[in-house]
Chains A and B, each alone.
Chain A
Amino acid sequence: MAITSTESAAAAPRRGMNVLFSLTLIGLLLALWIVLGFATASFWTPLNISNLLRQGAMTAILAVGQTFVIITAGIDLSVGAIVGFSSVILAWLLQAGVPLWIAIAATLLLGVAIGAFHGFGIVRMGLPPFIITLATLTALRGIGLLITNGSTISITNEAFTNFARADFLGIPSLFWMVILIAVPAYVFLHLSRWGRYLFAVGSNSEAARLSGVNVTRTIYTAYILSATCAAFVGVLLASRIGIGNATQAEGWELQAIASSVIGGTSLFGAIGSVHGPLIGAFILATINNGANLLNVNSFWQRIITGVLIIVIVYFDQLRRRSSR
C-alpha cells in the first residue's frame, strides 16, 4: 500500500538515529580497543581479553537491572550493598553446610525480597526511590558486617570458586552469565508488554494507570529485577574472590548507573535499552583495564571516567536535541 510505505520511509530517520547512537557507542568501544592494541603490547592477549570480559561482566549485569528501574523514572542506589550483602549470605549458608544450589537459590530469593521491600517503600509508604534505596544501602552493609562480625567468611567449596575462573567455549563463564541475563532482559524490555509498561509508567504513571496498567505491580517488578540482578552478581563475586565480605562492591551502584547513562538511559525515565548499558559497562571496564596496562595512576582513572561520563552524556543530549 502506498500509504504504509511512505509512513515507514518518513519514520526511518528516527529509528536510524537510535541505531546510530548504538553504533557510535560500539564504535567508541572498538576505537578504544584499537588504540589500546597499538599503545600496549598486552591488550590483545587472550588473557587480557578474558580479564576484560570478567571485569565488565558484573557491572554489566548490575547496569541492566538498574536500567529497568531508571526507565520507570526511579533509581536504585542499593545494588552495590546488595552485592556485598549477598556474598556474605551465600558464604554464611555454605559455611553452615547448606548445599550449594539451595544456598544460591536462597541468596537470589533474598534479592527478590529486598527488591519487594523497595517496591513497598515506594508504593505503599510513598518514599522517594532515592531515599528508600539509600536507606537499604546503609542498612545492608551494617547487617552484613554484623553477621560476619566485621571480618570475612571464606568459601571452601572449590567447584564454586573455580566457576568464575572457568572458560566455556573459550569465553569466560562470567561473560556467559551476562548473556544469560541479557537475552531474557531484552525480550522482557523490548518485546513484552511488561517492558512497555515500564516505559509508560516512567513517562506518565497516571496516564498508564488510567489505561489499565497495574502501576504498583510494574514498580515492584522493576525494583525486584534490579535487586535480584544485584544478588546474582553477589553470587558471582563470591565465586570470583572466594569469600563473603559485606564491604565488597563499594561504589558499584555508581558504576552501574554510569554504565546505564552512558548507554543512553535517561534519568528522567522512559528512555533506555538493554544493549546500551551493556556497551556502557564494557566501555568503563576497557578504560580501567587500559589504564592499568598503561600504568596510569588509579586516581587518574577515576578522573578520566568522570570526564568520559560528561562527554558521552553531553553528546547524547546533543543528539536528542537535534533529532527533535
Chain B
Amino acid sequence: MTLEQVAHRHDDSSARLTEANRVPLGAPILELKGLQKNYGYVQALKPATMTFLAGEIHAIVGENGAGKSTLIKLLTGVIPRTAGEIIWCGHPVALATPNEAIARGINAVHQEVVLCPHLTVAANLFLGDEINRNGLMRKRQMEKMAQAVLDDLGFGLPAHVPLGSLTIGQQQLVATARAAMRGTQFLIFDEPTAYLTRQESAQLFKLIRRLQSEGVTIVYISHRMEEVFEIADRVSVLRDGTHVGTRKIAETDENELIALMINRSIEQIYHKEKIAFGETILETRGLSGPGFENVSLSVRAGEIVGLYGLIGAGRSEFALGLYGRHPVSAGEVHWMGRMVDIKDERAAMELGIALAPESRRDQGLCLNLPIGLNINLPILRRLSHGPVIGRAEAASNADQQIRDLSIKTPSQRVLVSSMSGGNQQKIVIGKWLSHGARLFIFDEPTVGVDVGTKAEIYRLFAKLLKAGAGIILISSYLPEVYELADRLHVFRAGHLVGSHDFHAASHEDVLAEAIGI
C-alpha cells in the first residue's frame, strides 16, 4: 500500500483534495493580504502580503523574533490574526482553529516532535484517525498499513516499535509521514533539521521532494542557508516582523539573503581573531567513560578546540564525563599541569570548568522559572549572606548579563519558556559568564539560533579567549567548528578518529572521518 492509497482512505479527504487540486501547479494556492498580528502593543507580524504557489518549495528565513513562528501559528490556526486576509484556493478563509487548518489540508511539522513517545510508530501514524470495526481498533491492519507506508517512503523504519525508541531524526520522519498520510496539500516545516544528522536530513529532503512531485506545497523554515539553496524554489525573508522580500532561488545568493535578514555580510559571522595561545589548561590522557573511549586531547588558554562528529559519536558524552556528570572509567585528567579527579559537577565548577550543555530544554534551563533565577543558579552560594540570598546583588547580576548579552526581555522576572531559542541560549551562556571559568565547554551552542545571535555568540568566544580562557566547542554543524576551531578533533563511535590544525584538512576529509568512509 502506498502513501496515496492511505491518504485517500476517507471520502472526505479526497473531497478536500479536489478543492486544492483545482489550483493548477504554479498558480497561487495561498495568499496573504496584509496579514497582521499584534500581541498587546508589540507587532509580531507587520502587515504582510505574500503568495505561495501550488507545488513549490518556499523557504522562509529570518532571525529569531523576525515573525516566522507567528506566521506559522497564524497559518495553522493556533492563534487568531489581528488584521488582514488569508486566501486559500481563491477563497478567503478564517483558519480559526487548528482543526480547520488540518481539514483544509494545511499541516505543520515542528522542530520538536509533538507525538506520543510511548505509543508505537503505527499508533502514532494513525493517532486520532484509527481504523475501527464495531468499535474495536484494527490494530494489526493499522500496523500493516503503517509498515507499507514506511516502506513505500523508503525509511526502513519498523512500525511496531515505540516511537520513543527512534532517534529524533527518525521521529521527525514519522511526523512528516503522518502529515502526508492526512492528505496534506500545504505542509510547513519549522526548522526540521535542527537536531538531525546528515543522513537523516538527506532522507527528509528526499521525502520533501517526493511530496512536492505529488503536488504538495511546501513551506520550509530554516536557519541553514545551504539547505535553503539545496531545496527551495523561492525564498522569503522576514526581518523584525516585516516581510522584506521574496526571491527566486536561482536569482539570489547567500550574501543577498543575509544582507536582507540582518544587514550584515557573511564574513562578519565567523569572527576569528588571532590570539596567542598560553599555558595548557586541560589535558586528558586516554580518558574513557560511558559513550567514549581513550580520548586524549588538550586545551590551551586562548584556544578553541573543536569536537566534530555526528550526534551520538561521543562528543557530548566526553564533555559530560569531563564535567563529572558521568563517572570516568579510565584515563587521567590534568588541570593546569596537575592531575585531578573530578567526581561531580560541583568539583568541575570549582576547578573552573563551565558546561553549556547540548539541550537547552532538557539540560540547560529551568524553563518555567524566571530568567534571573536561571542566570544566578550556579552562583547562589556566592550571592548569599549566611542563609539569605542578597536580592540586590542577584538582581544586578542578572540585569548585567541581560544587558551584556543583549537578551531581549522586558525584565529578568520573565519566565524562560517565553523566550526564543537564541535568547534562551544566551541565558545558558549568561549563567556561566557570571560564574566565571577557565575552560568553557559549549555543546551545540547555535542549534536553533539565528545568524545574528550566532555572530554575537562567536564574538563572545573571542572575548573569553582574550581574557585567558580556553574553549571546547562541540558541534554537528561542520562550517562552525571548521571556521572557528584552532584544533579540530573528529569523533566517531566514541573514539577520537582524527585531529587537525585550523583549516589543515578539507571539509570532505573531516566529514569522511566522521562518517567512517
Contacts and interface: CB of A to CB of B under 8 A. Distances in A.
Interface in A1-32: 3-4, 6-8, 10-11, 14-15
Instruction: Name which of A204, A211, A270 has the most chain B CB atoms within 10 A of its CB.
Output: A211
Contacts of A199: 366, 369, 373
Contacts of B414: 11, 14
A324 B377 contact: no
B345 A204 contact: no
Contact of A207 (B346, B363, B383): B363
B34 interface: no
Interface string A205-219: 011111111100000
Interface string A185-216: 00110011110110110011011111111100
Contacts of A14: 411, 413-414
Given A210-B323, A210-B325, A212-B345, A193 B410 contact: no
Contact of A200 (B377, B381, B389): B377
A191 B413 contact: no
Nearest to B380: A193
B378 A211 contact: yes
B407 to A, nearest CB: 12
A271 interface: yes
Contacts of B373: 196, 199-200
Contacts of A214: 346
Contact of A203 (B357, B366, B383): B366
B265 interface: no
A208 B413 CA distance: 18
B367 interface: yes
Nearest to B378: A211
A135 B271 CA distance: 59
Contact of B368 (A193, A203, A208): A203
B365 interface: yes
A4 B398 CA distance: 12
Contacts of B387: 187-188, 191-194
B388 interface: yes
B384 interface: yes
B418 interface: yes
Given A206-B363, A207-B364, A207-B366, A191 B410 contact: no
B355 A210 contact: yes
A200 B357 CA distance: 16
A11 B418 CA distance: 14
Contacts of B345: 209-212
B236 to A, nearest CB: 29
Contacts of A7: 399, 410-412
A191 B388 contact: yes
A188 B384 CA distance: 12
A7 B407 CA distance: 13
Contacts of B150: none
A170 B376 CA distance: 44
B349 interface: yes
A214 to B, nearest CB: 7
B508 interface: no
Nearest to B362: A206
A302 to B, nearest CB: 33
B411 A8 contact: yes
A204 B362 contact: yes
A134 B362 CA distance: 29
Interface string B333-373: 00000000000011001000001010000111111110001
B389 A212 contact: no
B431 interface: yes
A242 to B, nearest CB: 37
B366 A210 contact: no
A3 B403 contact: yes
A193 B367 contact: no
Interface string B43-56: 00000000000000
A114 B363 CA distance: 31
Contacts of B367: 203-204
Contact of B431 (A15, A211, A270, A271): A211
Contact of B366 (A8, A212, A270): A270
B411 A196 contact: no
A4 B380 CA distance: 22
A128 B262 CA distance: 49
Contacts of A192: 384, 387-389
Contacts of A204: 362-363, 365-367
B399 A4 contact: yes
A124 to B, nearest CB: 16
A4 B400 CA distance: 10
A4 B378 CA distance: 24
Across the A-B interface, the 4 shortest Cβ-Cβ residue pairs: A11-B411, A10-B410, A203-B366, A193-B380
Interface of A: 3-4, 6-8, 10-11, 14-15, 187-188, 191-194, 196-197, 199-200, 203-204, 206-214, 270-271, 324
Given A196-B377, A213-B377, 19 more contacts: A7-B399, A7-B410, A7-B411, A7-B412, A11-B414, A14-B413, A191-B387, A193-B380, A193-B381, A196-B373, A196-B376, A199-B373, A204-B366, A207-B364, A209-B345, A210-B345, A210-B357, A212-B345, A214-B346
25 contacts: A6-B410, A7-B410, A10-B410, A11-B412, A15-B413, A188-B387, A191-B387, A192-B384, A193-B383, A196-B380, A196-B389, A199-B373, A203-B368, A204-B363, A204-B367, A206-B362, A207-B363, A210-B325, A210-B355, A210-B364, A211-B377, A213-B377, A214-B346, A270-B368, A270-B369
Interface of B: 323, 325, 345-346, 349, 355, 357, 362-369, 373, 376-378, 380-381, 383-384, 387-389, 399, 403, 410-414, 418, 431
